[in-house]
Structure 1
Amino acid sequence: MEAPNGTVAPTQTGDRPDPGGYKLKFCTVCASNQNRSMEAHLQLSKAHYPVISFGTGSLVRLPGPTIQQPNVYQFNKTSYDSMFKELSEKDEDLYTRNGLLNMLNRNRGVKWGPERWQDWQVGIPRLEHASDRGSVGTEGGVADVVFTCEERCWDAVIDDLHNRGAPLNRPVHVINVDIRDNHEEASIGGRGILDLADSLNNAAKEERDAVGSATFDMATAASRATFDERVPEILGEWQERWPNLPATWTLAWF
């Protein structure tokens, strides 16, 4: 996979077989679009779901040599590859031990660099992201389900959607799965999000078959009412399987 800056990102292994058929479009969100959202992005893409990811912070912040000396980058302007190379040059031993280089190496195999949710133009084609993992199906610039990874990110997404005024009049499920921001918990959280995505997608396929593909694919409140009504029950069943990942849900609008 070639990134926009011309570098060749490493390939990922462990993809599960693509079952084909209808797939919901997903979006994953954390503070800096580095750890939790990117692990979930990767796991969803390995399962062949259309997926994009974002951060909600004002800047991308990564741990530095001390709490008072974080590594700070701008969204949309700094690639994961350049971050990887910069931190390798600064202190390869430190950033290997704390897992940052491994994380950035994973990230640069998923997409070019961190993006900010608030800068995302919903409904605008994302044709320049063709090299991102999970890009197939997201070209139209919309998602059916947004997974956030902590409450403040969920709040930021909901507030931003409210401020946008729902110009597309399109329903979107916003689900917060609370994940501690470390590498081990991000991996567990990514698996939990994938399990929930599978359950949601199975229900969506059932309702799409029932109402007809043309109707369901209109993606309006009326055309997807039967699916939307099932989401709280699906989330409740999932929560029983993943009790250590507290979840919150709301139906919002693009």
Structure 2
Amino acid sequence: MADEQHLADSGSESPNPPPPPPPPPEPTTSTPEMATTSDKAGTTSTSPSDSYKLKFCTVCASNQNRSMEAHLRLSTAPSPFPVISFGTGSLVRLPGPSITQPNVYSFNSTSYAQMYEELSEKDERLYRQNGLLNMLDRNRNLKWGPERFQDWVPGMPRVDHVSKGDKGAMGTEGGVVDVIITCEERCWDAVVDDLMNKGSTLNRPVHVFNVDIKDNHEEALVGGKAILELANRLNELAAQERAVNGSQGWENGTGEARRSFDERVPEVLASWQEKWSNLPALWTLAWL
């Protein structure tokens, strides 16, 4: 338009100077409003499942391979979960130079770092070759040492685990969890029996799953991935129920959101099992 105005003015025969060009149009209010709307539409809001996290516990026989791979997956996920882990055996047993010569340690008193150093001194080549040193190296970077499930007292503070730097310890200071996932049916039986023996002193519901995983390093990797997906699905359901029904009473195991979540957990498991049919699962609702 400016060029058209210039041509019209230059062709005028009037002796008077050409009038100044018209001022540019005032910006309308629609532009900033549209930008604001666009900005709002383009903003990625925080997902409810990211803002709320269920607390998890993973369990195998010796708190070494399967439960620790799951502990790793949960505690180092893009959106990490609070997690603790245990073993259900009477002692920690690791392979030795022969089937009749296992390496045996006590729960709660021997660190992963101590085990690593001891096996390195005994036969580094052997224990590097069979994967034990790699496993213990992973473990010692996750938590201090193996713990026994039967020695766990629900509700007892676990602040010392935070100070030790255990991965996933933040959020578990109160000593309670929402979900327990075992990696072998005999461990599931031991956990359910032990919870009954403890007498449900907190009167707090806890979902106990078993995801059956063979006790080798390759299967533990697959199982850890599957457990993380189950955790994400459960957490998404929990976040949805809390958003719809409110969080009142949730931490005590009461309220509409918690009731609805507890009822719908089997739906989540059934959907998950369709994808992970090679990992047979069990579930029950128990009490802490």
TM-score by length of 2: 0.80
Q: In structure 2, which of residues 106, 111, 114 is the aligned counterpart of residue 82 of structure 1?
A: 114
Give the secondary structure class of the aligned counterpart of 2:90: coil
1:37 paired with 2:67, answer: yes
Give the secondary structure class of the aligned counterpart of 2:195: helix
Q: In structure 2, which of residues 99, 102, 105 is the aligned counterpart of residue 73 of structure 1?
A: 105
Matching residue of 1:140: 174
Q: In structure 2, which of residues 237, 241, 247 is the aligned counterpart of residue 203 of structure 1?
A: 237
The one-letter amino acid paired with 1:243 is S
Higher relative contact order, chain-length normalized (CA < 8 Å, sep 6+):
1
Structure 1 residue 218: Cα displacement: 3.1
In percent, how many aligned pairs have the same letter? 69
Give the secondary structure class of the aligned counterpart of 2:253: coil
Residues 148-188 of structure 1 deviation map (CA, whole Å, 9 limit, x = unaligned): 00000000000000111111110000000000000000010
**Alpha-carbon distance in structure 1 between the residues aligned to 2:121 and 2:255:** 51
Matching residue of 1:117: 149
Q: In structure 2, which of residues 260, 263, 269 is the aligned counterpart of residue 235 of structure 1?
A: 269
Matching residue of 1:187: 221
**Alpha-carbon distance in structure 2 between the residues aligned to 1:31 and 1:216:** 31
**Alpha-carbon distance in structure 2 between the residues aligned to 1:59 and 1:222:** 42
**Alpha-carbon distance in structure 1 between the residues aligned to 2:224 and 2:235:** 16
**Alpha-carbon distance in structure 1 between the residues aligned to 2:101 and 2:128:** 17
The answer to which structure has the higher helix fraction is 2
Q: Which runs of 5+ in 2 are unaligned?
A: 1-48
Matching residue of 2:15: none
Matching residue of 2:161: 129
Give the secondary structure class of the aligned counterpart of 1:54: strand
Q: In structure 2, which of residues 248, 254, 257 is the aligned counterpart of residue 220 of structure 1?
A: 254
Structure 1 residue 213: Cα displacement: 1.9
Greater Cα offset, 59-68 or 218-227: 218-227
Between structure 1 and structure 2, the one with the greater Rg is: 2
**Alpha-carbon distance in structure 2 between the residues aligned to 1:45 and 1:220:** 27
Matching residue of 1:244: 278
Give the secondary structure class of the aligned counterpart of 2:252: coil
Structure 1 residue 221: Cα displacement: 7.4
Greater Cα offset, 25-34 or 210-219: 210-219
